[in-house]
């Protein structure tokens, strides 16, 4: 977490959390979801605006974490901006040498390889569960053929509970206190 973010949390410890405004798709892209987008439906059916500003994306990715309930968020100064997930909290990129890094650029080692009923390929790592990027499936096939990864069948609906993450923090957020 950035030092400036830690300082903001210390200065303003009681800022309310933000839900529904940020989404991570199955390709590792970030989306801003304004009120109109949220009213149009849940993520990813209503994605919002694709973020393209590299410095903003880097800031989000440096401050991307999860809470004790498995809800992923971006710590934006003193405010947690919870992330709506399309597939998993991580999207893995596979390099020519079959090494793996996250959509945030962090190198990882896989501990398990899973394939769901739709043929989507996931890797479990010390960071958590992630989906292999669709553009890297040829390289992933090489890893499977070489015996580096041995896919195990899994039902996609079981993954959040099994790997302790929440797909939509907004769907389970606490009710706002009523004001008179």
CATH number at residue 46: 3.10.540.10
Cβ(57)–Cβ(78) below 8 Å: no
Which range has the worst mean pLDDT, 8-22, 34-48, 51-65, 159-173?
8-22
CA–CA gap between residue 117 and residue 140 (Å, rounded): 17
DSSP one-letter string for the chain: --HHHHHHHHH-TTPPPEEEEEEE-TTS-EEE--HHHHHH-STTTS--EEP--HHHHHHHHHTEEE-TTS-EEEEETTEEEEEEESS-SEEEEE-TTS-EEETTS-EE--SEEEE-TT--EEEEETTEEEEEPGGGHHHHHHHHHTTS--EEE--GGGHHHHTT--S-GGGGPPPPPP--
Output the CA torsion 20→81→32→56 (10° steps). Answer: -170
Q: How many domains does the chain have?
A: 2
Rounded average pLDDT over 96-109: 97
62 lies in the same domain as 104: no
70 lies in the same domain as 57: yes
* 154 has a pLDDT exceeding 70: yes
Joined together, the tokens standing for residue 32 give 């801003």
Q: What average pLDDT is seen over the chain?
A: 92
Q: What is the pTM of this model?
A: 0.88
* 179 has a pLDDT exceeding 50: no
83 lies in the same domain as 106: no
pLDDT: which is higher, 4 or 155: 155
> Does 64 map to a domain?
yes
The pLDDT assigned to 180 comes to 38
The alpha carbon of 13 is separated from its chain's Cα centroid by a whole number of angstroms, namely: 24
Q: Could you tell me the pLDDT band of residue 178, with boundaries at 50, 70 and 90?
A: very low
* 23 has a pLDDT exceeding 90: yes
The closest of 113, 23, 120 to 64, measured between CA atoms, is 23
The pLDDT assigned to 3 comes to 75
CA–CA gap between residue 107 and residue 154 (Å, rounded): 24
Domain of residue 20 covers 3-87+165-172
Rounded average pLDDT over 138-144: 97
> Does 178 map to a domain?
no
Q: Could you tell me the pLDDT band of residue 25, with boundaries at 50, 70 and 90?
A: very high
Q: Could you tell me the pLDDT band of residue 174, with boundaries at 50, 70 and 90?
A: low
56 lies in the same domain as 113: no
Which range has the worst mean pLDDT, 28-37, 109-118, 144-153, 168-177?
168-177
For tokens 């390929």, what's the residue? 121
CA–CA gap between residue 84 and residue 147 (Å, rounded): 34
* 4 has a pLDDT exceeding 80: no
Which range has the worst mean pLDDT, 35-44, 60-69, 72-81, 110-119?
72-81
95 lies in the same domain as 83: no
């Amino acid at each position: 977490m950035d030092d400036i973010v830690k300082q903001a949390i210390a200065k303003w410890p009681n800022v309310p959390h933000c839900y529904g405004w940020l989404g991570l798709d199955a390709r590792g892209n970030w989306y801003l979801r304004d009120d109109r987008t949220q009213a149009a439906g849940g993520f990813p059916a209503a994605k919002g605006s694709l973020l393209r500003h590299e410095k903003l994306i880097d800031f989000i990715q440096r401050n991307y974490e999860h809470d004790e309930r498995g809800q992923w968020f971006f710590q934006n100064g003193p405010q947690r901006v919870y992330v709506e997930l399309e597939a998993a909290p991580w999207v893995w990129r596979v390099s020519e040498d079959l090494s793996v890094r996250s959509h945030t650029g962090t190198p990882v080692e896989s501990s398990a390889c899973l394939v769901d009923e739709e043929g989507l390929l996931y890797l479990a790592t010390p960071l958590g569960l992630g989906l292999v990027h669709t553009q890297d499936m040829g390289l992933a096939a090489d890893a499977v053929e070489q015996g580096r990864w041995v896919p195990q069948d899994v039902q996609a609906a079981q993954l959040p509970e099994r790997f302790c993450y929440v797909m939509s923090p907004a769907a389970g957020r606490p009710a706002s206190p009523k004001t008179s």
